[in-house]
Amino acid sequence: MLFFDSTVEMILDNVNDAICVVDRNCITKFWNKRAERLYGVSREELIGKPITDFFPTALLPKVLKEGQPYENVYNSPRENTHNIITAKPLYKDNELLGAISCDRDISELIRLTALLDRTKLDLQVLEEEITVLNENRFSFDQIVGNNMDFKEMINLCKKVSKSKISVLITGESGTGKEVFARAIHIESRRKGHFIPINCSAIPEKLMESELFGYEGGAFTGALKKGKTGKFELAHKGTLFLDEIGDMPLSMQPKILRVLEDGMVTRVGGAKSVEVDVRIVAATNKDLKKMIQKGLFRKDLYYRLNSMLIMLPPLRERKEDIPELINKFIRHFCITYRSNIPEIPAKVMGVLINYDWEGNIRELKNIVERIVILVKNNNAKKIDMNFLPRSIIGSNQGKTEDKEKVFDLNEIVKDAEKKAIIDAIKITEGNKAKAARLLNIPRSTLYFKMGKYKLE
């Protein structure tokens, strides 16, 4: 039962955000003064009535239905009004009592952004603010994955992140190798920067000066003051060598030398500089075959391969596709200021059944395209026409029975149930350890076990 005494009401009436609380039937139980001013609806009008009577696109019914929170979701409940909403379910003793939403008015910020766009002013300040708000968006907590093997890989990465050993990440293009590299850096808590360099994008003649830097006047066209190399920039941080398989063979012994003695000498310089750098390398090539062909040094391979992370392609973790799609939809709806559209089960089934040769990168690009089309067509749900023909064509010939397998709710339930069963089996029935393995509170584990009758 939801109730508020006078003290709680006084406190909530004096916050700057609009707060709404509903019970499990979506009946409004609380509506603070800021909400009254923001939406022009009085407390007397709304209390005791369904929130959807006044706000058909409200987020709270979705939260109650799914039992999951939504954070920082863009919403435009009325013309020329723009809000960021955080809504969460309310539980007591594993019983769903209702839900609460907190709405922050960003209408003025939206108008200001539009003004800045029109006048082409410098957006550096806003970019810095966004960077601060999203400084942890590359952490392991932001990596989506319900696949048990994938989650075990994440846990293993967390354990080795705080060490200094080198990490080699392999996987197809678009599987998220740089995302993992950044997450390892963040988890390591190293004080230095994360410095990425794409070995395939730098000409062989410039590779040494890019990595080690150079002294002024070291060669024709060199800057008078010289240049700091990537190794020095990554001091006390992480150097990410992307596409390490394309590292020129002539450079590989020089890289190995730095990894072994921790000393860097600039091109044209005589003095060596000590650097404390953690190396994370990535490739989509088979380095062992390259070693056999003489294209990659065996000693460098084993120096980099202190810890090997093999990222699976998206087609091997299809249970993660619905969550990835929902994550990208929320992200792009905020970016393009669009309400969250409904995803019909048939559309989700087509997306899950697609092979995604470009992996997560391809999925993200397709979702961005879908959100743009949804906004331009003022649509409330994702229509099959919004999907590329290549995706629709790959699903032709599938039977109705197979399409039913891809019902989003059923997929999520099955994946969640399997994850709980596997976790309990691995921990030999220890529910506290199982909850930690699943990264959820123990109370939530008990609730879900009861939900799926796993007692």
User: Using an 8 Å Cβ cutoff, are 211 and 244 in contact?
Assistant: no
CA distance 68 to 444: 11
pTM greater than the 0.75 cutoff: no
Q: Which CATH superfamily is domain 6-108 in?
A: PAS domain (3.30.450.20)
- 102 phi and psi, to 5 degrees? -125, 115
| Amino acid at position 360, single letter | I
* Buried residues in 23-46 as b, exposed as e (16+ CB within 10 A): beebebbbbbbbbbebbeeeeeeb
Q: Is the pLDDT of residue 400 over 70?
A: no
As given in the structure block, the two tokens for residue 166 are 């080198």
Indicate the average pLDDT of the chain.
85
Task: Give how far the C-alpha of residue 180 lies from the chain's centroid of Cα atoms, to the nearest Å.
Answer: 11
Query: What is the arithmetic mean of pLDDT over 205-217?
Result: 87
Task: Give how far the C-alpha of residue 20 lies from the chain's centroid of Cα atoms, to the nearest Å.
Answer: 28
Q: Is the pLDDT of residue 401 over 50?
A: no
Maximum average pLDDT range among 66-75, 102-111, 271-280, 402-411: 271-280
pLDDT 10s digits, 406-427: 566 677 778 888 888 888 888 8
Residues listed for the chain: 455
**Residue 394 confidence (pLDDT):** 73
Query: What is the arithmetic mean of pLDDT over 303-328?
Result: 91
Question: What residue has token string 């929320």?
Answer: 330
The H-assigned helical ranges of 236-336 are: 252-261, 287-292, 298-304, 321-335
Task: Give how far the C-alpha of residue 141 lies from the chain's centroid of Cα atoms, to the nearest Å.
Answer: 8
CB neighbours of residue 214 within 10 Å:
20
CATH of 409-451, one of 1.10.490.10, 2.40.30.10, 1.10.3720.10, 1.10.10.60: 1.10.10.60
Max intra-chain CA distance, the chain: 80
Q: Indicate the pLDDT class of residue 220, thresholds 50, 70 and 90.
A: low
Could you tell me the fold of the domain covering 315-406? Helicase, Ruva Protein; domain 3 (1.10.8)
> Domain 140-312 is of which CATH architecture?
3-Layer(aba) Sandwich (3.40)
| Closest C-alpha among 386, 200, 183 to residue 284 | 200
The full set of domain ranges for the chain reads 6-108, 140-312, 315-406, 409-451
DSSP 407: -
What phi-psi label fits residue 72: left (phi over 0), alpha (psi between -120 and 50 degrees) or beta? left
Q: Is the pLDDT of residue 298 over 60?
A: yes
CA distance 382 to 348: 9
CA distance 262 to 44: 70
Q: Is the pLDDT of residue 397 over 90?
A: no
Query: What is the arithmetic mean of pLDDT over 283-301?
Result: 94
**Residue 1 confidence (pLDDT):** 47
Window from 34-43, 56-65, 69-78, 343-352 with minimum mean pLDDT: 69-78
**Three-state SS at 424:** helix
